[in-house]
């Protein structure tokens, strides 16, 4: 029997070597400008942002709290500083179709200037146009046109009147028009006098009146045409006068923006519109709506001449890096707002609001993928914009054809943006698997490292990282022992003595809480004791459930033996995770074995409380038993395995070594030491493989043992491969140092069974036979016996059946 | 104190009984409102006169009479019964307008209906009143073209700010130094809507020295009113020259003293034909 040594105390915890630190406190350290251990991410970011081709947007993978946002933002801002300032964007009225506002692109800073210039221009137009129309020059010209036209009317009437007067006929105004009447002595001839006139004269008068009436009708019919001509002349005059007032002012603006053809085109259209609507600029009487005092109603609107500065980069230094905290559809693509007026919703181009894509255009947009995916249609909207390389503002109502409110169709704005999604790995893989667009649009994955190697160089960097965070968060300086303790905590966080965690939020939390402890104690700098208090505090706040479980074990409600020996019963170790707190729980694993057809029953699985991995472990046990002990015969046993007093789901294969040992004990009736607990998974060859949560598991069994006293025989068997993960609590290490608690690294089932039973496992001889008194020898004998019994039973049954047939 | 005595003089000098010729056009109603406003301001009385033109009655009795207008090709027969009905209905409507507008201003009013020649009937009533306002469309010529909003509009004025709005620009006043022309000047000042607006003062055709003297009198008076003035002068001292000068200044008002010209039926007719401009005669 080989002697398996327990681990010395110094193997149970890899302390930080404080001697490597030359500083007294973090105040002596420089800030860390580089990102620790995320070289792959930085390379991916560099590649992603530099790739000019479509689809090279980025997805930064990693659990939350890794500082992804900070790292990405920092990297992008560094890159953005060297980029050119992106363009400003304005929306202006489309005078040809007001429902489709035009987008204007201007160099950074010029958008604001253009908006202000147009505002000043409008102010000037509002004063200069009325004044030019009130000028005597205009009045005279207008008067001339009107005089001319009135003269034309009057002349027509006069001519008719003169013609009538030659025949002693006069033109009279009647209530509804005009009439011709024969006159005598300045008055219309009396009817009785008219009757006295000779028949020929009466007929002549009637004839002349008839002719005059026809001529009058013709003259009257010309009036509308003359008026139309008159209005046209006035329109032309107004246009000339407006041009005089507007042209000069607009030319100044044109000079400023020479070289922007789209803008000049807009100014041209604006000029025509002002000429067409020049009456709006002139004093007018209040219309009924205005007179009612309704705000904004009825007044001529000058809104259409304003400029909606959608994106302003006047203060930009390089390209924008935008993080949209609430990536809803409308926050992404922008929206057209409405105003309620007299119960109706109205809008115009000035109510167009920019979305994150507009603000980030020409630069970088950072989004949380989870938030994006839970916002209805936001993901679809983003993809559409990236595919089309345009931002089209469209309300969800329009998009889904749900509403018919009058709204706008603003001209789409060309989009050139790098989108960086931040999210969990699971979401990346799900999107990659199920959304074909995702693969096309997000070709660069930047996968965050959860951990970095723990060596002197990284320890030094970590110390500077701590120093940087301490300064950034305005905490008390940490002395080097405190920094060392933080590093030890970081290693424990990843459950690996040779690694350090890159989970910056956990680190920041610890630093802040240690600072709190130090301040509370009135100490400065922060010491290792303060850090330990902070760690203990975190555990204390989270361990209500653990305490309850341990209490139930101590009170004998959950049955766990820590002394003596029992057949077919072994202490397994499981891990329970509640939020970010993990603890180990000892579990009693028992086995039963009997004659059967080679089936090992996983009771957990039978009741659907066992996960796939646990079932896999049980099948491996079956396979191991058959392979090692029953190669030439059928495995003639039936066994059952169960986690006693387990009422929840059990998964993972970390108890498979324990289960195998319990089964062997059940088969050959050899007792197992209850002072030991076992963790580890087994493969078909009987090798013990590494498992997770080794520290928590050891500490879990230690806590139970300590509560019952530590006679010195207790300990835990762990896979040898897990030794490098050990970062145990100080009290466990101390107990080990004092010989009160041992941790045994085991590499094979044989080593485990020897430790648990105190019997040799047995090595096969040259024929492959095991010593009869060894565990393996006994196992072979027992299985052969079961095989024989099965054979006999089978023959007896066959005989019985034959007798029945005879 | 000085201000108070000035006011007394003004009140004493300004007319109290105002005659307005009634007309159913929109402009006629605006003129009626201005007249009512003036009467209210002066605590005076408003008299509305509607004259049914005798020539129209006779015309309607002629067998061939036809009324021609823009909208009905060939016109239609003008019959007496129909005309009488129209006139009665028009009289009722205008009386109602007068009552309503005067009621709004809380001023005493009376309505007078006459049948005859318009100018003759006006002259007959003129003796009873201090001021005559004629604003109806009596001229033969159709309504002048209104081609721009900067020109005066023939739109009824709101009842609540009658005298403050008054007639539209321009307000013209004939001043020849007589007492009645002085009163015309003061009446014109009442009608000018607000400070800063311009009053056109028409001076008679006189020697340059007299012209200067008259101009100076107006300027002296103007210093109390803060009105902006513009001077014009007649080429001949007759109504036709006055009408010629005001030609084209549509929609405003011409104010003149009753003794400015010889006011006979012909000159009243000429003033009635004053194109599209209210004429205010002040005693």
pLDDT digits (tens, 9 = 90+) for B20-56: 988 777 777 878 888 888 888 888 899 999 988 888 8
CB A684 within 8 A of CB A563: no
Other CB atoms within a 10 A radius of the CB of residue B115 amount to 13
For chain B, what is the domain count? Answer: 2
Contacts of A93 (CB under 8 A, 6+ apart): A101, A102, A303, A304, A305, A348, A349
Instruction: Report the pLDDT value the prediction gives residue B149, as an integer from 0 to 100.
Output: 34
In the residue annotation, A654 being an active-site residue is answered as yes
Is the confidence at residue B139, as pLDDT, over 70? no
Nearest alpha carbon to residue A189 among A169, A209, A172 = A169
Whole-number Å distance between alpha carbons of A620 and A637: 15
Look-up: residue for tokens 């789409």? A412
Under an 8 A CB cutoff, do B59 and A187 touch?
Answer: no
CB A514 within 8 A of CB A503: no
Chain B interface disruption, residue of A152, A165, A173, A174, most B CBs within 10 A: A174
DSSP string, A167-198: TTEEEEEETTEEEEEEEETTEEPPHHHHHHS-
Under an 8 A CB cutoff, do A177 and B142 touch?
Answer: no
Per-residue tokens: A397:
């109502």
Going by pLDDT thresholds of 50, 70 and 90, the confidence category of residue B169 is: low
- pLDDT-above-90 percentage for chain B: 10
First to last CA, chain A: 57
Under an 8 A CB cutoff, do B55 and A227 touch?
Answer: no
Chain A hits for B147, Cβ within 8 Å: 142, 145-146, 149, 230-231, 233-234
Whole-number Å distance between alpha carbons of B275 and A486: 102
- B88, B113, B145 — which closes off a domain? B145
A254 burial type by CB count under 10 A (0-12 exposed, 13-18 middle, 19+ buried) = middle
Under an 8 A CB cutoff, do A188 and B67 touch?
Answer: no
What SS3 state is found at A665? Answer: helix
Look-up: residue for tokens 């108890």? A655
Would you call A290 an interface residue with chain B, using a CB distance cutoff of 8 Å?
no
Would you call B220 an interface residue with chain A, using a CB distance cutoff of 8 Å?
no
Nearest alpha carbon to residue B273 among A173, A170, A185, A224 = A173
Per-residue tokens: A53:
């081709």
CB A385 within 8 A of CB A399: no
Task: Tell me how many residue pairs between chain A and chain B have CB atoms under 8 A apart.
Answer: 133
Does B156 reside within a domain? no
- What is the separation of C-alpha A5 from the centre of its chain, rounded to a whole number of angstroms? 52
Does B19 reside within a domain? yes
Closest residue in A to B247 (Cα) is A147
Whole-number Å distance between alpha carbons of A145 and A229: 10
Same domain (yes/no): B111, B211: no
- Give the pairing type, strands A413-414 and A339-341: unpaired
Under an 8 A CB cutoff, do B141 and A223 touch?
Answer: no
Closest residue in B to A133 (Cα) is B150
Instruction: Report the pLDDT value the prediction gives residue A23, as an integer from 0 to 100.
Output: 93
Same domain (yes/no): B64, B174: no
Which structural domain range is residue B85 located in?
A: 13-145
- B113, B145, B177 — which closes off a domain? B145
Angle, helices A749-757 vs A775-805, to 10°: value is 100
Same domain (yes/no): B136, B188: no
Is the confidence at residue B163, as pLDDT, over 50? no
CATH number at residue B231: 3.40.50.620
Looking at residue B135, the DSSP 8-state letter turns out to be -
Whole-number Å distance between alpha carbons of B88 and B109: 20
Is the confidence at residue B150, as pLDDT, over 60? no
Whole-number Å distance between alpha carbons of B54 and A12: 131
Same domain (yes/no): B52, B116: yes
Contacts of B87 (CB under 8 A, 6+ apart): A175, B52
Does B153 reside within a domain? no
Per-residue tokens: A64:
């939350």
Instruction: Report the pLDDT value the prediction gives residue A627, as an integer from 0 to 100.
Output: 86
- What is the separation of C-alpha A716 from the centre of its chain, rounded to a whole number of angstroms? 44
Instruction: Report the pLDDT value the prediction gives residue A337, as an integer from 0 to 100.
Output: 86
Does B159 reside within a domain? no
Radius of gyration of chain A (CA): 48
Chain B hits for A175, Cβ within 8 Å: 56, 83, 86-87, 90
Q: Where are the alpha helices (DSSP H) in A495-644?
A: 504-521, 528-542, 544-554, 603-606, 612-629
Least CB–CB distance from A227: residue in B145, B248, B250:
B145
Instruction: Report the pLDDT value the prediction gives residue A662, as an integer from 0 to 100.
Output: 94
Same domain (yes/no): B125, B227: no
CB A493 within 8 A of CB A447: no
Does B154 reside within a domain? no
Under an 8 A CB cutoff, do B75 and A177 touch?
Answer: yes
Under an 8 A CB cutoff, do A234 and B147 touch?
Answer: yes
Instruction: Report the pLDDT value the prediction gives residue B157, as an integer from 0 to 100.
Output: 37
Looking at residue A434, the DSSP 8-state letter turns out to be H
Whole-number Å distance between alpha carbons of A374 and A326: 10
Least CB–CB distance from B147: residue in A139, A190, A231:
A231
CA angle at B47 for the pair B41 and B48, rounded to the nearest 5°: 120
Chain A hits for B30, Cβ within 8 Å: none
Same domain (yes/no): B191, B80: no
Whole-number Å distance between alpha carbons of A468 and A474: 10
Whole-number Å distance between alpha carbons of B17 and B7: 19
CB A415 within 8 A of CB A408: no
Instruction: Report the pLDDT value the prediction gives residue B195, as an integer from 0 to 100.
Output: 47
Same domain (yes/no): B111, B171: no
Chain B interface disruption, residue of A148, A150, A239, most B CBs within 10 A: A150
Whole-number Å distance between alpha carbons of A324 and A458: 34
Catalytic residue among A79, A306, A533, A697: A697
CB A520 within 8 A of CB A473: no
Does B23 reside within a domain? yes
Least CB–CB distance from B62: residue in A176, A181, A231:
A181
Under an 8 A CB cutoff, do A179 and B59 touch?
Answer: yes
A422 bridge partner residues? A60, A368
E strand or H helix at A265, and its extent?
Answer: helix A261-276
Same domain (yes/no): B114, B185: no
Whole-number Å distance between alpha carbons of A418 and A442: 10
* CA–CA min distance A109, chain B (Å): 41
Would you call B149 an interface residue with chain A, using a CB distance cutoff of 8 Å?
yes
- CA torsion A208-A214-A215-A220 (nearest 10°) is 140
Looking at residue A279, the DSSP 8-state letter turns out to be G
Same domain (yes/no): B130, B18: yes
Under an 8 A CB cutoff, do B75 and A217 touch?
Answer: yes
CB B192 within 8 A of CB B223: no
Same domain (yes/no): B121, B174: no
Query: For residue B170, is the peptide bond before it cis, meaning its omega torsion is within 30 degrees of 0?
Result: yes
Same domain (yes/no): B32, B138: yes
Q: What is the pTM of this model?
A: 0.67
Least CB–CB distance from A282: residue in B54, B142, B149:
B149
Same domain (yes/no): B44, B136: yes
Catalytic residue among A654, A656, A748, A774: A654
If you average pLDDT over residues B213-240, what whole number do you get? 83
* Total length of chain B: 283
Contacts of A757 (CB under 8 A, 6+ apart): A665, A670, A671, A672, A673, A775
Does B162 reside within a domain? no
* CA–CA min distance A123, chain B (Å): 21
Would you call A143 an interface residue with chain B, using a CB distance cutoff of 8 Å?
yes
* CA–CA min distance A346, chain B (Å): 29
Residue A530 CA: distances (Å) to CA of A285, A446, A483, A534, A539 = 79, 36, 11, 6, 14
First to last CA, chain B: 28
* Total length of chain A: 806
Whole-number Å distance between alpha carbons of B87 and B80: 10
Least CB–CB distance from A191: residue in B58, B66, B117:
B58
String of b and e for A145-173 (b: at least 16 CB within 10 Å)? Answer: bbbebbebbbebbeebbeebeebebbbbb
* CA–CA min distance A163, chain B (Å): 15
Residue A104 CA: distances (Å) to CA of A252, A268, A341 = 19, 14, 29
Chain B hits for A143, Cβ within 8 Å: 248
Whole-number Å distance between alpha carbons of A364 and A416: 9
Does B5 reside within a domain? no
Chain B hits for A150, Cβ within 8 Å: 141, 144-145, 248, 275
Least CB–CB distance from B142: residue in A133, A217, A223:
A223
CB A572 within 8 A of CB A682: no
Look-up: residue for tokens 């003033």? B271
Nearest alpha carbon to residue B248 among A158, A235, A151, A231 = A151
What residues of chain A score a pLDDT lower than 50? none
Look-up: residue for tokens 């929609």? B251
Looking at residue A644, the DSSP 8-state letter turns out to be T
DSSP string, A109-130: THHHHHHHHHHHHHHHHHHHHH
SS3 assignment for A304-327: HHCEEEEECCCCCCCCCEEEECCC
Within 199-218 of A, beta carbons closer than 8 Å to B belong to 205-206, 209-210, 213, 216-217
Would you call A136 an interface residue with chain B, using a CB distance cutoff of 8 Å?
no
Look-up: residue for tokens 């970390």? A654
* CA–CA min distance B202, chain A (Å): 19
Going by pLDDT thresholds of 50, 70 and 90, the confidence category of residue B246 is: low
């Amino acid at each position: 029997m080989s002697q398996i040594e327990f681990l010395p105390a110094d193997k149970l915890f890899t302390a930080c070597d404080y001697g490597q630190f030359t500083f007294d406190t973090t105040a002596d350290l420089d800030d860390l400008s580089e990102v620790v251990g995320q070289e792959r991410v930085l390379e991916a970011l560099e590649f992603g942002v530099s790739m000019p081709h479509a689809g090279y947007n980025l997805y930064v993978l990693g659990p939350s709290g890794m500082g992804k946002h900070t790292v990405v933002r920092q990297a992008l801002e560094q890159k953005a500083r060297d980029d050119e300032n992106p363009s400003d964007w304005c929306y202006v009225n489309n005078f040809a179709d007001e429902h489709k506002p035009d987008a204007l692109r201007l160099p950074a800073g010029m958008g604001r200037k253009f908006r202000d210039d147009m505002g000043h221009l409008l102010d000037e137009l509002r004063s200069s146009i009325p004044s030019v129309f009130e000028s005597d020059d205009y009045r005279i010209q207008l008067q001339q046109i009107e005089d001319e036209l009135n003269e034309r009317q009057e002349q027509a009437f006069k001519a008719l009147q003169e013609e009538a007067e030659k025949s002693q006929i006069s033109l009279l105004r009647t209530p509804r028009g005009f009439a011709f009447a024969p006159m005598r002595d300045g008055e219309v001839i009396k009817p009785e006098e008219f009757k006295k006139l000779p028949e020929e004269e009466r007929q002549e008068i009637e004839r002349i009146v008839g002719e005059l009436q026809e001529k009058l009708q013709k003259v009257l019919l010309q009036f509308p045409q003359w008026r139309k001509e008159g209005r046209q002349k006035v329109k032309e005059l107004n246009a000339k006068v407006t041009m005089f007032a507007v042209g000069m002012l607009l030319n100044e603006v044109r000079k400023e923006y020479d070289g922007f053809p789209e803008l000049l085109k807009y100014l041209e259209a604006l000029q025509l519109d002002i000429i067409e609507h020049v009456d709006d600029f002139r004093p007018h009487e209040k219309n009924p709506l205005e007179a009612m005092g309704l705000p904004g109603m009825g007044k001529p609107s000058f809104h259409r001449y304003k400029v909606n500065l959608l994106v302003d980069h006047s203060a930009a230094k390089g390209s924008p890096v935008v993080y949209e905290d609430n990536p809803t559809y409308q926050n992404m693509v922008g929206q057209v707002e409405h105003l309620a007026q007299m119960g109706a919703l109205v809008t115009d181009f000035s109510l167009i609001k920019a979305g994150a894509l507009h603000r980030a255009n020409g630069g970088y947009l950072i989004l949380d993928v989870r938030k994006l995916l839970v916002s209805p249609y936001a993901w679809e909207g983003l993809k559409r914009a990236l595919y089309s390389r345009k931002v089209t503002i469209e309300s969800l109502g329009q998009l889904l054809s749900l509403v018919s409110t009058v709204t706008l169709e603003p001209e789409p704005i060309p989009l050139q943006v790098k989108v960086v999604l931040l999210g969990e790995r699971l979401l990346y893989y799900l999107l990659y698997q199920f959304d074909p667009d995702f693969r096309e649009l997000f070709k660069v994955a930047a996968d965050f490292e959860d951990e970095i190697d723990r060596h002197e160089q990284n320890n030094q960097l970590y110390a500077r990282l701590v120093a940087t965070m301490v300064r950034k968060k305005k905490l008390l300086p940490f002395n080097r022992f405190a920094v060392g303790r933080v590093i030890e905590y970081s290693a424990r966080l990843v459950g690996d003595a040779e690694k350090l965690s890159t989970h910056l939020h956990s680190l920041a939390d610890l630093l802040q809480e240690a600072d709190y402890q130090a301040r509370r104690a009135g100490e400065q700098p922060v010491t290792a004791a303060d850090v330990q208090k902070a760690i203990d505090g975190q555990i204390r706040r989270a361990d209500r459930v653990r305490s309850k479980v341990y209490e139930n074990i101590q009170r004998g409600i959950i049955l766990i033996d820590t002394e003596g020996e029992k057949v077919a019963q072994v202490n397994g170790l499981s891990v329970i995770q509640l939020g970010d707190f993990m603890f180990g729980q000892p579990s009693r694993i028992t086995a039963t074995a009997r004659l059967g057809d080679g089936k090992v029953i996983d009771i957990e699985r039978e009741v659907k409380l066992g996960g796939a991995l646990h079932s896999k472990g049980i099948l491996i046990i079956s396979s191991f038993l058959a392979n090692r002990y029953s190669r030439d015969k059928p495995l003639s046993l039936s066994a059952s395995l169960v986690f006693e007093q387990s009422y929840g789901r059990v998964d993972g294969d970390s108890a498979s070594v324990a289960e195998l040992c319990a089964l062997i004990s059940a088969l050959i009736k050899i007792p197992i030491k209850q002072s030991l607990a076992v963790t580890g998974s087994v493969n078909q060859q009987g090798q013990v493989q590494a498992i997770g949560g080794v520290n928590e598991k050891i500490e879990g069994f230690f806590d139970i043992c300590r509560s019952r006293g530590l006679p010195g025989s207790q300990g835990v068997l762990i896979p040898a491969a897990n030794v490098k993960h050990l970062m145990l609590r100080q009290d466990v290490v101390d107990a080990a140092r004092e010989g009160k608690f041992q941790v045994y690294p085991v590499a094979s089932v044989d080593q485990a069974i020897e430790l648990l039973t105190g019997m040799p496992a047995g090595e096969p001889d040259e024929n492959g036979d095991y010593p009869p008194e060894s565990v393996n020898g006994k196992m072979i004998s027992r299985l052969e016996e079961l095989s024989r019994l099965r054979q006999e039973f089978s023959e007896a049954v066959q005989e019985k059946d034959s007798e029945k047939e005879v | 104190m000085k201000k108070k005595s000035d006011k007394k003089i003004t009140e004493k000098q300004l007319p109290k009984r105002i005659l307005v010729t009634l007309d159913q056009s929109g402009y006629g109603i605006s003129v009626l409102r201005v007249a009512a406003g003036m009467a209210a301001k002066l605590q005076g009385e408003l008299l509305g006169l509607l004259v049914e033109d005798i020539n129209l009655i006779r015309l309607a009795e002629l067998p061939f009479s036809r009324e021609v207008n823009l909208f009905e090709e060939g016109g239609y027969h003008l019959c007496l019964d129909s005309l009488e009905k129209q006139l009665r209905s028009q009289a009722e409507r205008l009386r109602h307008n007068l009552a309503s507008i005067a009621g709004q201003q809380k001023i005493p009013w009376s309505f007078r209906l006459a049948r005859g020649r318009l100018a003759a009937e006006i002259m007959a009533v003129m003796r009873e009143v201090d001021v005559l306002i004629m604003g109806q469309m009596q001229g033969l010529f159709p309504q002048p073209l209104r081609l721009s909003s900067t020109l005066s509009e023939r739109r009824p004025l709101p009842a609540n700010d009658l005298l403050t709005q008054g007639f539209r620009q321009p307000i013209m006043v004939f001043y020849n130094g007589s007492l009645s022309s002085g009163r015309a000047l003061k009446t014109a000042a009442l009608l000018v809507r607000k400070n800063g607006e311009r009053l056109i003062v028409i001076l008679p055709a006189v020697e340059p020295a007299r012209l200067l003297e008259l101009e100076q009198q107006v300027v002296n008076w103007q210093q109390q009113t803060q009105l902006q003035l513009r001077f014009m002068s007649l080429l001949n001292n007759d109504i036709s020259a006055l009408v010629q000068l005001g030609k084209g200044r549509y929609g405003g008002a011409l104010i003149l003293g009753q003794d400015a010209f010889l006011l006979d039926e012909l000159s009243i007719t000429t003033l009635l034909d004053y194109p599209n401009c209210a004429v205010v005669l002040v005693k």
